[in-house]
Amino acid sequence: MIDLLEMHKMFIRAHLGEGDVAVDFTMGNGNDTEFLCRTVGETGKVYAFDIQADAVESTRARLEGRGFHNYTLIHDSHANVAEYIREPIKAGMFNLGYLPGHGHHEVTTKRESTLAAVKGAIALLDKDAILLVAVYPGHEEGRLEGEMLEEYFSTISRYQLCVTKVKIVNSPASPFFFVVETK
């Protein structure tokens, strides 16, 4: 069976390498932040956003414990990306939904901030860059986020960006993701 998390990494690695700049727009437990830090190496830079202090502190401890120094953790909404990042990025990752393993399921990403963050991320994409947006439709806000994003992505010219949707067809509540690539 396809491992969606491994697919995310495969897509990201095709665009991101040593010395590049990447953004984890939904830091969570720091798994994607760590992956991005490792992929860009010591000469690269990773920014990571989360609105929950628990996520920022647990990610900081995780990265420090593994010896990384190539990151900036931002305790703010990803919708405010333009206030923090002004340089082109080669990769961005979103894992929408709620912070896994913390029981705070009432705190989820929201359509309004997600759309603003995705638009901000697209504006930062460099040449040969990628944005990966994972959607979790198993809860109402997640389902609505997915519908909103698909509608928005369908309005973007295919001559500007290539947007692909990866979904398990016979499991409608399963997570899926969008891959946005610059031309």
Residue ranges and CATH numbers for the domains of the chain are: 4-182 (3.40.50.150)
Q: Where does 59-109 show beta strands of DSSP type E?
A: 71-75, 89-95
Q: How much of the chain exceeds pLDDT 90, in percent?
A: 69
- Residue 39 three-state SS: helix
Give pLDDT tens digits for 26-60. Answer: 998 899 999 999 999 999 999 999 998 988 999 99
Burial class, 157, CB count within 10 angstroms (exposed 0-12 / middle 13-18 / buried 19+)? exposed
Q: Residue 14's closest CA among 121, 118, 91, 122?
A: 91
CA distances from 101 to 28, 67, 77, 114, 173 (A): 10, 24, 20, 21, 19
Give pLDDT tens digits for 84-101. Answer: 999 999 999 998 865 555
**Rounded mean pLDDT of the chain?**
90
Give pLDDT tens digits for 142-183. Answer: 788 889 999 999 999 999 999 999 988 888 788 889 999 998
* Per-residue confidence (pLDDT) for residue 40, from 0 to 100: 98
